Amino acid sequence: MLLHLLPLSTLLLIPSILATPVPSPVPTPEPLPLLVWHGLGDNYAADGLQSVGDLINTTVPGTFVYYIRLDENPDSDRTATFLGNLTTQLAQVCNDLASHPILSTAPAVNALGFSQGGQFLRAYVERCNNPPVRNLVTFGSQHNGIVKYQVCGPTDWLCKAYIGILKANTWGSWVQSHLVPAQYFRSTDETTGEPSQDYLDNSNFLADVNNERAAKNTTYAKNLASLDTFVMYVFDDDETVIPKESGWFAQTNSSSGEVTHLRNRTIYTEDWIGLRKLDQKGGLVFESTKGGHMQIGDEVIVDVANKYFAPEDAKMEESRAHARPGQENMEL
């Protein structure tokens, strides 16, 4: 009975099929774990953040998602996005990741950073990178700092008080060691475009991780250049991050609006942090997406997951199938 249903070619193959042991199915490659670092005012357990992880887990099945946190208590984790010394916060995250039972045994991880979480993940790569990051994707981050603090709602008194302290004493050591956005505030001289002396002398985070001081840390450049890909998304209508081009490491003249592309800046030409080396091997990607700050469509997340978080073998199979349509069965 069965033979009736089989094409002739199969009949001819039956003797050899019987003689050869059934090959075990090709193992599906495991996706790398994914680190997700949320932004200011958010927390690791928030529904919105977790739904992004779920979408990625659905798109690339089996992805273990780890939401970076400064505290297991979501409220305290949220507070840590406003309050804390980024040096100690980052060291704590490095410790957590290096001792995590799943992450520490993975060959590598991928990473997705939202807003300030993006530059913090980049700093993790530069300073620690254990486990090492393969692909880093950031959305609306402040890689070149901010020149203005965010605008508070008209009756948000807590926000107003907080921003008031930031504005009054950005370069003071108390503010630099306690208030998070101050640590990536970056002021420049309007005529020369050079970073201000206040910034170079006092910035507790950004001036260091961007290697803007005379003494450069070569580990930072080596680690960042070791990424496969660093993808930077800027939101077309971002009004929260000022200037929004900070998300591409660009420099914006705030009076003329003129934007100096990263590739025309000294941080790149002298390769202070490895971005040039990464670019030369095709690993630096500048992207934009429509909408305001953190308005990310599901299709953008799915696209990022397929392009950067899927296992290498699966991606190769997919591109082969696309490259030679209709010929997938040639080997048979």
Compute the least distance from the CB of residue 79 to ligand NAG, in Å. 17
Per-residue x/- track, 287-326, ligand NAG (CB under 6 A): ----------------------------------------
The neighbour count for residue 78, using CB atoms within 10 Å, is 21
From candidates 76, 264, 288, 327, binder to ligand NAG by CB under 6 A: 264
Structure tokens at 70: 């400064």
Query: Is residue 271 annotated as part of the catalytic site, yes or no?
Result: no
Per-residue x/- track, 188-217, ligand NAG (CB under 6 A): --xxxx----------x------------x
* Nearest CB to ligand NAG, comparing residues 1 and 215: 215
Say whether residue 130 binds ligand NAG (CB under 6 A): no
Say whether residue 173 binds ligand NAG (CB under 6 A): yes
Compute the least distance from the CB of residue 73 to ligand NAG, in Å. 20
* Measured distance CA(193)–CA(191) in Å, rounded: 6
* Measured distance CA(5)–CA(17) in Å, rounded: 17
Q: Where are the alpha helices (DSSP H) in the chain?
A: 2-5, 8-19, 47-59, 74-82, 86-98, 116-127, 157-168, 173-178, 197-202, 206-209, 218-225, 266-269, 275-280, 298-304, 312-323
Say whether residue 20 binds ligand NAG (CB under 6 A): no
Per-residue x/- track, 243-262, ligand NAG (CB under 6 A): ----------x-xx----x-
Which of 38, 115, 203, 208 is an active site residue?
115
CA torsion angle 281 131 128 71 (round to 10): 130
Compute the least distance from the CB of residue 139 to ligand NAG, in Å. 19
* Nearest CB to ligand NAG, comparing residues 116 and 176: 176
- Grouping H, G, I as helix, E, B as strand and the rest as coil, residue 188 is strand
From candidates 65, 111, 231, 301, binder to ligand NAG by CB under 6 A: 65
Bridge-based pairing of strands 65-67 and 34-37 is parallel
How far is Cα of residue 28 from the mean position of the Cα atoms in its chain?
26
* Measured distance CA(184)–CA(101) in Å, rounded: 32
Say whether residue 101 binds ligand NAG (CB under 6 A): no
The neighbour count for residue 64, using CB atoms within 10 Å, is 15
Compute the least distance from the CB of residue 22 to ligand NAG, in Å. 27
* Measured distance CA(120)–CA(143) in Å, rounded: 9
Question: How many residues in the shown chain lie near ligand NAG by CB under 6 A?
Answer: 25
Compute the least distance from the CB of residue 173 to ligand NAG, in Å. 5
Q: Number of H helices and number of E strands within the chain?
A: 15, 8
Query: Is residue 322 annotated as part of the catalytic site, yes or no?
Result: no
Compute the least distance from the CB of residue 161 to ligand NAG, in Å. 21
The residue written with tokens 């495991």 in the block is 30
Compute the least distance from the CB of residue 324 to ligand NAG, in Å. 30
Which of 238, 246, 271, 279 is an active site residue?
238
The residue written with tokens 């977790």 in the block is 50
Contacts with 246 (C-beta within 8 Å, 6 or more apart), sequence order: 141, 142, 143, 144, 145, 146, 252
- Phi-psi category of residue 230: left, alpha or beta, with phi > 0 → left and psi -120 to 50 → alpha: beta
Say whether residue 53 binds ligand NAG (CB under 6 A): yes
From candidates 138, 176, 210, 211, binder to ligand NAG by CB under 6 A: 176
Query: Is residue 9 annotated as part of the catalytic site, yes or no?
Result: no
The residues assigned a catalytic role are 115, 238, 293
Residues that bind ligand NAG (CB under 6 A): 53, 57, 61, 64-65, 85, 87-88, 127, 173, 176-177, 190-193, 204, 217, 219, 253, 255-256, 261, 263-264
